[in-house]
Structure 1
Protein backbone atom coordinates (compact mmCIF):
# COMPACT_ATOMS: atom_id res chain seq x y z
CA UNK A 1 0.00 0.00 0.00
CA UNK A 2 2.78 2.42 0.94
CA UNK A 3 4.69 1.57 -2.25
CA UNK A 4 1.60 2.33 -4.33
CA UNK A 5 1.16 5.69 -2.64
CA UNK A 6 4.83 6.53 -3.14
CA UNK A 7 4.60 5.50 -6.80
CA UNK A 8 1.54 7.73 -7.25
CA UNK A 9 3.37 10.58 -5.56
CA UNK A 10 6.38 10.12 -7.88
CA UNK A 11 4.12 10.15 -10.95
CA UNK A 12 2.21 13.25 -9.84
CA UNK A 13 5.42 15.04 -8.87
CA UNK A 14 7.05 14.20 -12.21
CA UNK A 15 4.00 15.45 -14.13
CA UNK A 16 3.91 18.69 -12.13
CA UNK A 17 7.65 19.35 -12.44
CA UNK A 18 7.64 18.56 -16.16
CA UNK A 19 4.60 20.67 -16.91
CA UNK A 20 5.24 23.70 -14.72
CA UNK A 21 9.05 23.62 -14.70
CA UNK A 22 9.27 23.41 -18.48
CA UNK A 23 7.88 26.88 -19.03
CA UNK A 24 10.85 28.78 -17.54
CA UNK A 25 13.26 26.36 -19.21
CA UNK A 26 11.66 26.90 -22.63
CA UNK A 27 11.51 30.67 -22.11
CA UNK A 28 15.19 30.75 -21.18
CA UNK A 29 16.22 28.68 -24.21
CA UNK A 30 14.12 30.92 -26.47
CA UNK A 31 15.79 34.00 -24.99
CA UNK A 32 19.25 32.46 -25.50
CA UNK A 33 18.41 31.57 -29.10
CA UNK A 34 17.87 35.16 -30.18
CA UNK A 35 20.51 36.42 -32.57
CA UNK A 36 22.51 39.10 -30.79
CA UNK A 37 24.42 41.65 -32.80
CA UNK A 38 27.99 42.48 -31.98
CA UNK A 39 28.89 45.98 -30.95
CA UNK A 40 32.11 47.23 -32.50
CA UNK A 41 35.06 47.55 -30.13
CA UNK A 42 36.47 50.97 -29.45
CA UNK A 43 39.67 51.29 -31.51
CA UNK A 44 41.65 52.90 -28.68
CA UNK A 45 40.75 50.33 -26.01
CA UNK A 46 41.16 47.09 -28.01
CA UNK A 47 38.57 45.46 -25.75
CA UNK A 48 36.63 42.46 -26.89
CA UNK A 49 33.25 43.19 -28.47
CA UNK A 50 30.22 43.13 -26.20
CA UNK A 51 27.15 41.20 -27.24
CA UNK A 52 24.18 43.47 -27.35
CA UNK A 53 20.56 42.90 -28.31
CA UNK A 54 18.49 45.95 -29.23
CA UNK A 55 15.30 46.30 -27.21
CA UNK A 56 13.08 46.06 -30.29
CA UNK A 57 14.40 42.52 -30.92
CA UNK A 58 13.25 41.40 -27.45
CA UNK A 59 9.66 42.23 -28.30
CA UNK A 60 8.12 39.53 -30.44
CA UNK A 61 4.94 39.90 -32.44
CA UNK A 62 1.76 38.21 -31.27
CA UNK A 63 2.53 34.85 -32.83
CA UNK A 64 1.80 31.34 -31.69
CA UNK A 65 -0.96 32.33 -29.29
CA UNK A 66 -1.89 29.75 -26.70
CA UNK A 67 1.70 28.55 -26.46
CA UNK A 68 1.71 28.51 -22.67
CA UNK A 69 -1.27 26.15 -22.44
CA UNK A 70 -0.15 24.07 -25.38
CA UNK A 71 3.29 23.73 -23.78
CA UNK A 72 1.82 22.68 -20.43
CA UNK A 73 -0.32 20.01 -22.08
CA UNK A 74 2.50 18.91 -24.37
CA UNK A 75 4.87 18.36 -21.43
CA UNK A 76 2.16 16.49 -19.51
CA UNK A 77 1.58 14.19 -22.48
CA UNK A 78 5.28 13.62 -23.17
CA UNK A 79 6.12 12.90 -19.53
CA UNK A 80 3.10 10.62 -19.19
CA UNK A 81 4.19 8.56 -22.22
CA UNK A 82 7.69 8.18 -20.76
CA UNK A 83 6.33 7.23 -17.33
CA UNK A 84 3.95 4.73 -18.95
CA UNK A 85 6.85 3.09 -20.77
CA UNK A 86 5.66 4.11 -24.24
CA UNK A 87 7.95 6.93 -25.42
CA UNK A 88 7.06 6.10 -29.03
CA UNK A 89 3.76 7.89 -28.40
CA UNK A 90 5.70 11.17 -28.30
CA UNK A 91 5.49 11.03 -32.10
CA UNK A 92 1.72 11.55 -31.83
CA UNK A 93 2.22 14.60 -29.60
CA UNK A 94 4.72 16.07 -32.08
CA UNK A 95 2.42 15.35 -35.03
CA UNK A 96 -0.62 16.91 -33.37
CA UNK A 97 1.32 20.00 -32.37
CA UNK A 98 2.86 20.41 -35.82
CA UNK A 99 -0.43 19.92 -37.64
CA UNK A 100 -2.23 22.30 -35.31
CA UNK A 101 0.37 25.02 -35.79
CA UNK A 102 1.01 24.48 -39.50
CA UNK A 103 -1.20 27.29 -40.86
CA UNK A 104 0.29 29.82 -38.46
CA UNK A 105 3.85 28.67 -39.11
CA UNK A 106 3.34 28.89 -42.85
CA UNK A 107 1.91 32.41 -42.63
CA UNK A 108 4.72 33.84 -40.46
CA UNK A 109 8.27 33.17 -41.62
CA UNK A 110 9.97 33.85 -38.28
CA UNK A 111 7.58 31.74 -36.25
CA UNK A 112 8.89 28.36 -37.40
CA UNK A 113 12.33 28.79 -35.81
CA UNK A 114 10.76 29.93 -32.55
CA UNK A 115 8.34 26.99 -32.70
CA UNK A 116 11.14 24.46 -33.21
CA UNK A 117 13.42 25.85 -30.51
CA UNK A 118 10.58 26.08 -27.98
CA UNK A 119 9.25 22.62 -28.82
CA UNK A 120 12.66 20.94 -28.57
CA UNK A 121 13.47 22.64 -25.26
CA UNK A 122 10.05 21.76 -23.87
CA UNK A 123 10.17 18.14 -24.98
CA UNK A 124 13.74 17.56 -23.82
CA UNK A 125 12.76 18.87 -20.40
CA UNK A 126 9.67 16.64 -20.30
CA UNK A 127 11.59 13.54 -21.40
CA UNK A 128 14.32 14.25 -18.85
CA UNK A 129 11.84 14.64 -16.01
CA UNK A 130 10.01 11.51 -17.18
CA UNK A 131 13.28 9.55 -17.20
CA UNK A 132 14.04 10.70 -13.64
CA UNK A 133 10.51 9.64 -12.68
CA UNK A 134 11.01 6.20 -14.26
CA UNK A 135 14.29 5.80 -12.37
CA UNK A 136 12.54 6.76 -9.12
CA UNK A 137 9.75 4.26 -9.80
CA UNK A 138 12.30 1.51 -10.47
CA UNK A 139 14.12 2.40 -7.25
CA UNK A 140 10.84 1.96 -5.36
CA UNK A 141 10.58 -1.54 -6.70
Structure 2
Protein backbone atom coordinates (compact mmCIF):
# COMPACT_ATOMS: atom_id res chain seq x y z
CA UNK A 1 0.00 0.00 0.00
CA UNK A 2 2.94 2.32 0.57
CA UNK A 3 3.91 2.21 -3.09
CA UNK A 4 0.32 2.86 -4.15
CA UNK A 5 0.12 5.86 -1.82
CA UNK A 6 3.42 7.23 -3.15
CA UNK A 7 2.36 6.74 -6.78
CA UNK A 8 -0.88 8.63 -6.22
CA UNK A 9 0.88 11.40 -4.29
CA UNK A 10 3.08 11.78 -7.37
CA UNK A 11 0.06 11.75 -9.66
CA UNK A 12 -1.60 14.43 -7.52
CA UNK A 13 1.51 16.55 -7.97
CA UNK A 14 1.93 16.17 -11.72
CA UNK A 15 -1.71 15.91 -12.82
CA UNK A 16 -2.22 19.69 -13.06
CA UNK A 17 0.82 20.14 -15.30
CA UNK A 18 -0.03 17.12 -17.43
CA UNK A 19 -3.64 18.24 -17.86
CA UNK A 20 -3.02 21.93 -18.51
CA UNK A 21 -3.25 22.11 -22.33
CA UNK A 22 -6.03 24.36 -23.63
CA UNK A 23 -7.90 21.47 -25.29
CA UNK A 24 -8.77 19.89 -21.94
CA UNK A 25 -11.74 21.21 -19.90
CA UNK A 26 -10.73 23.49 -17.02
CA UNK A 27 -12.43 21.26 -14.43
CA UNK A 28 -10.42 18.14 -15.31
CA UNK A 29 -7.09 19.08 -13.69
CA UNK A 30 -8.50 19.94 -10.24
CA UNK A 31 -10.76 16.88 -10.25
CA UNK A 32 -7.88 14.59 -11.25
CA UNK A 33 -5.66 16.06 -8.52
CA UNK A 34 -8.42 15.67 -5.91
CA UNK A 35 -9.12 12.06 -6.91
CA UNK A 36 -5.41 11.20 -6.86
CA UNK A 37 -5.00 12.78 -3.43
CA UNK A 38 -8.05 10.88 -2.14
CA UNK A 39 -6.65 7.56 -3.39
CA UNK A 40 -3.28 8.42 -1.80
CA UNK A 41 -5.08 9.15 1.48
CA UNK A 42 -6.92 5.82 1.43
CA UNK A 43 -3.77 3.88 0.55
CA UNK A 44 -1.69 5.89 3.01
CA UNK A 45 -4.10 5.06 5.83
CA UNK A 46 -3.37 1.37 5.27
CA UNK A 47 0.43 1.65 5.35
CA UNK A 48 2.80 1.04 8.19
CA UNK A 49 5.38 3.60 9.26
CA UNK A 50 7.77 4.15 6.36
CA UNK A 51 11.56 4.08 6.63
CA UNK A 52 14.59 4.23 4.39
CA UNK A 53 13.97 5.24 0.79
CA UNK A 54 10.20 5.34 1.33
CA UNK A 55 10.71 7.93 4.07
CA UNK A 56 12.49 10.32 1.72
CA UNK A 57 10.12 9.57 -1.14
CA UNK A 58 7.14 10.28 1.12
CA UNK A 59 8.55 13.65 2.17
CA UNK A 60 9.44 14.71 -1.37
CA UNK A 61 6.21 13.50 -2.99
CA UNK A 62 4.13 15.07 -0.23
CA UNK A 63 5.77 18.45 -0.85
CA UNK A 64 5.40 18.08 -4.63
CA UNK A 65 1.74 17.08 -4.31
CA UNK A 66 1.08 20.00 -1.97
CA UNK A 67 2.97 22.64 -3.93
CA UNK A 68 2.13 21.71 -7.51
CA UNK A 69 -1.06 19.70 -7.10
CA UNK A 70 -2.86 22.72 -5.72
CA UNK A 71 -2.13 24.90 -8.76
CA UNK A 72 -5.52 24.50 -10.48
CA UNK A 73 -7.56 24.68 -7.29
CA UNK A 74 -7.57 28.44 -6.64
CA UNK A 75 -8.67 29.29 -10.22
CA UNK A 76 -11.36 26.60 -9.91
CA UNK A 77 -12.50 28.11 -6.61
CA UNK A 78 -12.60 31.56 -8.25
CA UNK A 79 -14.81 30.15 -11.03
CA UNK A 80 -17.13 28.57 -8.47
CA UNK A 81 -17.26 31.81 -6.47
CA UNK A 82 -18.25 33.72 -9.62
CA UNK A 83 -20.82 31.00 -10.40
CA UNK A 84 -20.12 31.34 -14.09
CA UNK A 85 -17.68 28.77 -15.44
CA UNK A 86 -17.90 30.32 -18.93
CA UNK A 87 -16.05 33.48 -17.87
CA UNK A 88 -12.29 33.37 -18.31
CA UNK A 89 -10.61 33.07 -14.93
CA UNK A 90 -8.21 35.80 -13.97
CA UNK A 91 -5.02 34.08 -12.97
CA UNK A 92 -3.38 35.76 -9.97
CA UNK A 93 0.02 35.67 -11.69
CA UNK A 94 -1.17 37.40 -14.86
CA UNK A 95 -4.27 39.37 -14.01
CA UNK A 96 -6.54 40.49 -11.25
CA UNK A 97 -5.63 42.70 -8.34
CA UNK A 98 -3.05 40.41 -6.72
CA UNK A 99 0.12 39.85 -8.73
CA UNK A 100 2.44 36.88 -8.20
CA UNK A 101 -0.27 34.71 -6.69
CA UNK A 102 0.74 31.53 -8.50
CA UNK A 103 4.33 31.59 -7.22
CA UNK A 104 3.27 32.72 -3.76
CA UNK A 105 0.71 29.90 -3.69
CA UNK A 106 3.32 27.28 -4.58
CA UNK A 107 5.63 28.51 -1.84
CA UNK A 108 2.78 28.81 0.65
CA UNK A 109 1.56 25.25 0.02
CA UNK A 110 5.09 23.83 0.25
CA UNK A 111 5.75 25.67 3.53
CA UNK A 112 2.45 24.61 5.08
CA UNK A 113 2.86 20.98 4.02
CA UNK A 114 6.42 21.08 5.38
CA UNK A 115 5.11 22.40 8.70
CA UNK A 116 2.52 19.61 8.83
CA UNK A 117 5.14 16.99 7.97
CA UNK A 118 7.41 18.35 10.69
CA UNK A 119 4.58 18.37 13.22
CA UNK A 120 5.03 22.11 13.70
CA UNK A 121 1.58 23.75 13.54
CA UNK A 122 3.05 27.11 14.56
CA UNK A 123 4.78 27.13 11.17
CA UNK A 124 1.41 27.39 9.45
CA UNK A 125 0.55 30.45 11.52
CA UNK A 126 3.88 32.05 10.62
CA UNK A 127 3.37 31.43 6.89
CA UNK A 128 -0.14 32.89 6.97
CA UNK A 129 0.94 35.88 9.06
CA UNK A 130 3.81 36.70 6.69
CA UNK A 131 1.54 36.35 3.67
CA UNK A 132 -1.14 38.55 5.23
CA UNK A 133 1.34 41.25 6.21
CA UNK A 134 2.99 41.21 2.78
CA UNK A 135 -0.35 41.45 0.97
CA UNK A 136 -1.94 43.99 3.33
CA UNK A 137 -1.30 47.10 1.15
CA UNK A 138 -2.83 45.39 -1.91
CA UNK A 139 -6.02 44.24 -0.18
CA UNK A 140 -7.75 47.61 -0.64
CA UNK A 141 -8.08 47.12 -4.41
CA UNK A 142 -11.48 45.95 -5.72
CA UNK A 143 -11.96 42.17 -5.32
CA UNK A 144 -8.46 41.78 -3.83
CA UNK A 145 -9.60 40.70 -0.38
CA UNK A 146 -12.03 38.17 -1.88
CA UNK A 147 -9.29 36.78 -4.14
CA UNK A 148 -6.88 36.67 -1.18
CA UNK A 149 -9.29 34.80 1.10
CA UNK A 150 -10.50 32.31 -1.51
CA UNK A 151 -6.99 31.60 -2.80
CA UNK A 152 -5.46 31.32 0.67
CA UNK A 153 -8.16 29.02 2.08
CA UNK A 154 -8.06 26.80 -1.00
CA UNK A 155 -4.26 26.55 -0.87
CA UNK A 156 -4.12 25.96 2.87
CA UNK A 157 -6.78 23.23 2.82
CA UNK A 158 -4.99 21.44 -0.03
CA UNK A 159 -1.57 21.73 1.65
CA UNK A 160 -2.90 20.48 4.99
CA UNK A 161 -4.57 17.51 3.28
CA UNK A 162 -1.39 16.57 1.39
CA UNK A 163 0.76 17.14 4.46
CA UNK A 164 -1.54 15.04 6.65
CA UNK A 165 -1.28 12.12 4.23
CA UNK A 166 2.51 12.29 4.33
CA UNK A 167 2.55 12.80 8.12
CA UNK A 168 0.31 9.76 8.55
CA UNK A 169 2.74 7.65 6.56
CA UNK A 170 5.72 8.92 8.55
CA UNK A 171 4.24 8.16 11.97
> Which bracket does the TM-score occupy, shorter chain normalised?
0.7 to 0.9
The alignment status of 1:97 with 2:131, answered yes or no, reads yes
Q: Does residue 1:126 correspond to 2:159, yes or no?
A: yes
TM-score by length of 2: 0.64
* Structure-to-structure mapping, 1:1-141, within 5 angstroms: 3-36=51-84, 55=87, 58=88, 60=90, 61-106=95-140, 108-138=141-171
**Residues 102-138 of structure 1 deviation map (CA, whole Å, 9 limit, x = unaligned):** 11112x0311011101100000000000000011112
Between Structure 1 and Structure 2, whose CA radius of gyration is higher? 1
RMSD: 1.8
Q: Relative contact order: is structure 1 or structure 2 higher (C-alpha 8 Å, sep ≥ 6)?
A: 1
Q: How many residues are treated as equivalent by the alignment?
A: 118
Give deviations 1:53-97, integer Å, cap 9, x for gaps: 774xx4645321110100000000000000000122111111111
Aligned equivalents of 1:67, 1:30: Cα separation in 2: 13
Secondary structure in 2 matching 1:33:
helix
- Structure 2 portions without partners, runs of 5+: 1-49
* 2:98 counterpart SS class: coil
* TM-score of the aligned structures, taking structure 1 as reference length: 0.77
